[in-house]
Amino acid sequence: MPHLGPLRRRAWAALLGQLLRPPSTVCIRGCHSQVAKAVLTSEQLKSHQEKPNFIIKVPKGTRDLSPQQMVVREKILDKIISCFKRHGAKGLDTPAFELKEMLTEKYEDNFGLMYDLKDQGGELLSLRYDLTVPFARYLAMNKLKKMKRYQVGKVWRRESPAIAQGRYREFCQCDFDIAGEFDPMIPDAECLRIMCEILSGLQLGDFLIKVNDRRVVDGIFAVCGVPESKLRTICSSMDKLDKMSWEGVRHEMVSKKGLAPEVADRIGDYVQYHGGISLVEDLFKDPRLSQSQLALQGLGDLKLLFEYLRLFGIADKISLDLSLARGLDYYTGVIYEAVLLESSAQAGKETLSVGSVAAGGRYDNLVAQFDPKGHNVPCVGLSIGVERIFSLVEQKMKMSGEKVRTTETQVFVATPQKNFLHERLKIIAELWDAGIKAEMLYKNNPKLLTQLHYCEKADIPLMVIIGEQERNEGVIKLRSVASREEVTINRESLVAEIQKRLSEP
């Protein structure tokens, strides 16, 4: 017992007596209550862990990404982001969650798919549904009138996942947007050009970008007799035509949303049309559609858009498709969606159906909804479906048997002898200082065979070997792991020789 006064010694003695006393109900409820709680918690946890039906798993609609998958994913993202930067975009990041009231009214039929969070300090929050609404909020909050931005981030949607089709509840989006007042269709055409560059660069196969205009869609609904109160909900049904047949969509419109059958049939006459600039010109002459000034405005912009697409050299990749609706409510003008085409070589083989891999459109009124004074900032943008593209790339790599290297290590520092840890540490520090990616085993005396196997398994191209003879002679052995050829070089020229070899094609 430490040197204490009489009162403190008595207090220590009493406390020791309590601690050494056999457990009792009084003790557990008193001085040992915290200990008892800890014991109970541990027992409850142990009981929980021993349950036969307890399964360790990720939440439904999510997944872990292995190191091999992360390599593939990062390559995809690098290509996408480099394209965004090539077109002059600035990077932006926004919170993973927003005020619920700022999101709910922007998605109409889709707000039920948002993940709501518990009340935190008086704020009702929801995880972001996409990156577009947060961008509009950012523009309004910072009173920005022009901006070309890109953003890469996760979004969340509480829907039934379809893993085989690359659809998850948590997924990554890559967005590019142009905000500001510009001459018609120039930014829109650039967005379509960016989409073509990315899909071509990723070498996913042949693709087609379907375009339409929400004013044309609304004009078709109006001349076909859709009540104004049902425009948005019928548009949401029509947006499912990439997943359902027209008969299924028609049934939803009529049976579930109360649309008159003859009105649905008139809509059906239009959704079958697709083509290029000639279709735009034919629609100008359509006796029914030409009665809608809104539709005529949309057709005018589409005609101008196709002219710019021809100058950009991508008109053959674009098709006007009147079945395209894009159900999100904030779209106001041109809309588009990219789909991959099944080649004749793929026909009859097992392929991965992933739906659209990119989409976007014009949303001219969204920023004004966040601005207290209603100041408007026209916007147009696109979103790349990373998860669906990733699923396709994974499948192609699996079929081809392509291996993925999970590290970028260029040099491995090894020794065949004991007690050479200090020499290895000096060498690897020198390599790191020179910006060379290097590794070594975290052992004092590793076996040379173990080090060789590690290099071959990790596909590390070069190995530096230091032993007693090399140290005495002031030299280093440099080994090519693939060819197993070794050369002896001066210790001072190690970094220069490695850099020379790494720079060779």
* Sequential DSSP letters for 414-456: E-SSSS-HHHHHHHHHHHHHTT--EE--S-SS--HHHHHHHHH
Tokens of 90: 């600035």
CATH architecture type of domain 67-222+270-342+354-400: 2-Layer Sandwich (3.30)
pLDDT 10s digits, 165-193: 667 889 999 999 999 999 999 999 999 99
Q: What is the average per-residue pLDDT within 390-397?
A: 86
**Res. 373: pLDDT tops 70:** yes
Residues 6+ apart with CB under 8 A from 336: 191, 192, 195, 209, 210, 211, 212, 318, 324, 359, 360, 361, 382
Q: What is the pLDDT of residue 347?
A: 44
Is 177 one of the annotated binding-site residues?
yes
Rounded to two decimals, the pTM is 0.82
pLDDT 10s digits, 49-79: 556 677 899 988 899 999 999 999 999 999 9
Is 173 one of the annotated binding-site residues?
yes
Tokens of 495: 């970094």
Angle at alpha carbon of residue 129, lines to 128 and 132, rounded to 5°: 90
Instruction: Report which residue type is found at 484.
Output: R
Q: What does pLDDT average to over the chain? A: 86
SS3 301: helix
Q: Are 341 and 206 in contact (CB under 8 A)?
A: yes
* Residue with more model confidence, 44 or 229: 229
Is 371 one of the annotated binding-site residues?
no
Q: What is the pLDDT of residue 3?
A: 52
Q: What is the pLDDT of residue 50?
A: 58
pLDDT 10s digits, 441-451: 999 999 999 99
Q: What is the pLDDT of residue 47?
A: 54
Tokens of 417: 């002898």
Fold agreement (67-222+270-342+354-400, 411-503): no
Range list of H helices, 254-292: 261-271, 277-284
pLDDT 10s digits, 250-284: 999 999 999 999 999 999 999 888 899 999 999 99
Q: What is the average per-residue pLDDT within 339-350?
A: 59
Question: How do beta strands 147-156 and 125-127 pair?
Answer: unpaired
Is 130 one of the annotated binding-site residues?
yes
Phi, psi values for residue 460, rounded to 5°: -80, 125
Work out the burial of residue 64: count CB atoms within 10 Å of its CB; fewer than 13 is exposed, 13-18 middle, 19 or more buried.
Answer: exposed
206 vs 196, 203, 298, 355, CA distance in Å? 11, 8, 28, 14
For residues 155 and 169, give the distance between their C-alpha atoms in angstroms, rounded to a whole number. 8
Q: What is the average per-residue pLDDT within 329-349?
A: 75
Other beta carbons within 10 Å of 17? 9
Tokens of 350: 């097992």
With tokens 């919170």, the residue in question is 95
**Res. 391: pLDDT tops 90:** no
Phi, psi values for residue 98, rounded to 5°: -130, 170
CA-based nearest residue to 456, from 489, 484, 428: 484
Is 192 one of the annotated binding-site residues?
no
Banded pLDDT at 9 (limits 50, 70, 90): low
Minimum mean pLDDT range among 3-17, 105-119, 358-372: 3-17
Is 330 one of the annotated binding-site residues?
yes
Q: Are 310 and 193 in contact (CB under 8 A)?
A: no
- DSSP label at residue 59: P
SS3 413: strand
Other beta carbons within 10 Å of 337? 25
Q: What is the average per-residue pLDDT within 404-431?
A: 95
pLDDT 10s digits, 129-164: 899 999 999 999 999 999 999 999 999 988 877 765
Percent of the chain residues topping a pLDDT of 90: 64
**Every domain of the chain and the residues it spans:** 67-222+270-342+354-400, 411-503
For residues 80 and 92, give the distance between their C-alpha atoms in angstroms, rounded to a whole number. 15
Percent of the chain residues topping a pLDDT of 70: 85
Is 270 one of the annotated binding-site residues?
no
- Superfamily of domain 411-503, CATH level 4: Anticodon-binding domain (3.40.50.800)
Other beta carbons within 10 Å of 228? 9
Q: What is the pLDDT of residue 343?
A: 52
**Res. 332: pLDDT tops 50:** yes
Q: What is the pLDDT of residue 164?
A: 59
Q: Are 96 and 85 in contact (CB under 8 A)?
A: no
Q: What is the pLDDT of residue 10?
A: 54
Banded pLDDT at 111 (limits 50, 70, 90): low
Sign of the Cα torsion 471, 475, 480, 484 reads negative
Q: What is the pLDDT of residue 25?
A: 39
